Structure 1
Amino acid sequence: MESFFSTLKTECVDGKIYLSRSQAKREIFEFIEIDYNRKRRHTSIGSMTPENFENQRKCLTLCLINRGSPIA
């Protein structure tokens, strides 16, 4: 969790002056949901992006479900 807050601070918040609390909340939310959660590589999932990890998981699940039957 400390790593997350360090990343948030250095890549999103440091040096910025927000004009309002709502602007700060919006920009931090966008950083977390777009940059951090989707694009940033995470060591806990083999240095993959969460999006790639989820796609791989879905593919493996389909392969297991379709094992023994042709994939159309």
Structure 2
Amino acid sequence: MPCGYNAAATEAFFYTLKTQLTHHERFMDKYEVELGLFNYIETCYNRRRRHTAIGCRITAEFELYIKAYVV
């Protein structure tokens, strides 16, 4: 049975994706859709979203922390 928290996170992600990417773009083919999704997820979404697994930090903050404190 799926967890309600997982569904909420998934719904929030797809809502954000729909409003920030698809409402502002027109794609000509499948390749452009894939490229647009990749760019959105890797350059926008993952860089701004706080991850609970790394102490509610943004990934860029966590990478700086790791570089500074872990050798």
State the identity as a percent: 30
User: CA 1:56 to 1:8, structure 2 compared with 1: closer, same or farther past 3 Å?
Assistant: same
- Give a deviation string over 1:4-41, Cα, whole Å, max 9, x none: 22211111112532111111110111111111122x14
Higher strand share goes to which structure?
A: 2
Bigger relative contact order (CA 8 A; separation at least 6): 1
Greater Rg by CA: 1
Gaps of 5+ in 1: 63-72
- Indicate whether 1:42 and 2:63 are aligned: no
Across the aligned residues of Structure 1 and Structure 2, the Cα RMSD in angstroms comes to 2.0
Flag the structure with higher helix content. Answer: 2
Q: Could you state the TM-score of these two structures normalised by the residue count of structure 1?
A: 0.63
Q: What residue ranges of structure 2 are gaps of 5+ in the alignment?
A: 1-9
User: How many residue pairs align between the two structures?
Assistant: 60
Name segments (4+ residues, structure 1) moved above 3 Å. Answer: none
Under a length normalisation based on structure 2, what TM-score does the superposition of the two structures give? Answer: 0.64
Q: Deviations over 1:23-64 (max 9, x none)?
A: 1110111111111122x1416242x321111221332223xx
